[in-house]
Structure 1
């Protein structure tokens, strides 16, 4: 952490921001990624937790330069994190009403279960991959594909919900679990979620559901029957 006290129009303002990516949460990085035209004050606000309105009261804008190297260093670290294959062995969650964090083991094969969580994760991954292919083409899509942090967060919510809470799978409650996923260190969250996008190709391929296949079967069957009836009625 780097901590400095800056002079403001009303007094002094202590500011502390992380210098290591391991001190940054997934939620913080998501907010930064959602702002493509992020300025210096907004970046410092997200990393420090201090509202922009308070930072705007700093007397000299040059005082913020002391944080410039730290912000740039974090940007480089997140770039290299996308290339990391180091998956943590366990994750801790502090759930409402609990006095101690609950430790959840990260399974070696990173299977998505139960079936409801698997199907939800598959849909999220397929949408993310398809959107990328629409923009950049299908050829060598994995070479320059980086899933959005928002999609990573959603996949992890479905993956960890049952393990962390001990409750049966519920799609809506799993989506609400996103708020807990946002508190994960980005150095933990990104390697795990990236695994699903890159190492589970079957997850990223949109598949026709049983229901859609049945509908297609009915459609083909009806078309065949109509054709057959027409042939019979034709002299």
Structure 2
């Protein structure tokens, strides 16, 4: 799809991959709605790129429905939806203090998987009201998975399960929406320079970067965003999860 003037929604856009994606979409001429829980960070990015900021919990059905309706009123029905909101707490299934708390596992699934589905269901409904382009296309959805979906490490059970769910969701969604001209893809990033990683001690960062075959450095949000833009632009790319990981294959720990 031609990105210029398309209404786009990006969750998790107050920082990290979501911020990088929102900036890239705005630079390409899209009308961007930014969604995040962090109101201060969200407003700062939105002011910088001329976007619409909406503080919202992606796991809240009513709140996100209202946010999508607000975006529609401001920019028109959604044409691009990118889910970047996510959390990655580390915990063993059975640790020194006993079994992992069930609500801790559920929280990760709720944010990473159910939050992704929440935006998908609302954005896809919006997209199906749009006039198709010459290729019959009405919209594009891009979800954020992770290499942990394939090689989850010890302590990543909840995170890996949530991202594995995102991978598994992508193809059936693409097949269902094919008849209405809506494409669905996912990106599975490796190690990226997000606040979570950049907040670690430098020695830990260097050790992690050394595990990357090439290039042996963290990816940047701008590099993630480049793949998002390509997924929007390339009409044949559908139902696919693309690893973006410098050839990383994670060890058990």
Same structural fold, with TM-score higher than 0.5 when normalized by the shorter chain: no
Whichever of the two has the greater Rg, that structure is 1
More strand by share: 2
TM-score when normalising by structure 1: 0.25
More helix by share: 1
